[in-house]
A and B are shown apart, each in its own frame.
Chain A
Amino acid sequence: SAVISQKPSRDICQRGTSLTIQCQVDSQVTMMFWYRQQPGQSLTLIATANQGSEATYESGFVIDKFPISRPNLTFSTLTVSNMSPEDSSIYLCSGQLNTEAFFGQGTRLTVV
């Protein structure tokens, strides 16, 4: 198994600012992913974070809005840029080890 430490756990941010969320894994994982979860809804994949190359974004998500870094096999960041109230959500990172996906604790973001 693997443990993912995600921070911050929550933040309240002003409109127009940016927030960077970090995830640290205690094992080397090939695949890392970033999800968004609106209240009461399921997880929506934002992008796949690739080590050594640009992230792969899902439809509806773009790099300018959600830049991602993956400098090594144990760490990744997601930045939510130029935030608006519509970006208020829970953001989760996950890593896959063998056939199991592990999640960080989530970041509850509120944009005011």
Chain B
Amino acid sequence: GQNIDQPTEMTATEGAIVQINCTYQTSGFNGLFWYQQHAGEAPTFLSYNVLDGLEEKGRFSSFLSRSKGYSYLLLKELQMKDSASYLCAVLSFGNEKLTFGTGTRLTIIP
């Protein structure tokens, strides 16, 4: 089976940096995704990590440590529009299906 944990809620200040952590336990790991979901909308893809290390994409970066079963999403220069839920999802090898964490609801305050 799979177990994915991430904080339920976080608050950060506009212009600052926030790190959202995700830990997972899985058999047959084949990659980790981060998605952003605004209220009432479908999730949108942010990042994909399959090897250890940091992947940077503009203001967003994602890190993976497979040995520790750990990932984080780093958001820099926070903007009010970054207020959303951030979903960590693990891809299983073989059946190619995504298992989602509970999501972290991030609120940006002025």
Question: CB-defined interface of B42-75 with A at 8 Å, one 1/0 digit per residue?
Answer: 1111001010000000000000000000000000
B contact residues, total (Cβ < 8 Å)? 21
Q: Is the interface of A mostly helix, strand, loop or mixed?
A: strand
Contact between A106 and B100 (Cβ–Cβ < 8 Å)? no
Contact between B103 and A103 (Cβ–Cβ < 8 Å)? no
Q: How far, in angstroms, from A28 to B6 measured CA to CA in the complex?
A: 33
Q: A42-B87, A100-B48 are in contact. List 12 more A-B contacts (CB 8 A).
A: A33-B97, A33-B98, A41-B102, A43-B100, A44-B100, A45-B97, A48-B95, A48-B97, A99-B48, A99-B91, A105-B42, A106-B41
- A-B complex: 9 closest residue pairs judged by Cβ atoms: A103-B42, A42-B103, A43-B100, A42-B100, A42-B102, A106-B42, A99-B48, A31-B96, A103-B43
Chain B residues with CB under 8 Å of chain A are 31, 33, 41-45, 48, 50, 87, 89, 91, 95-103
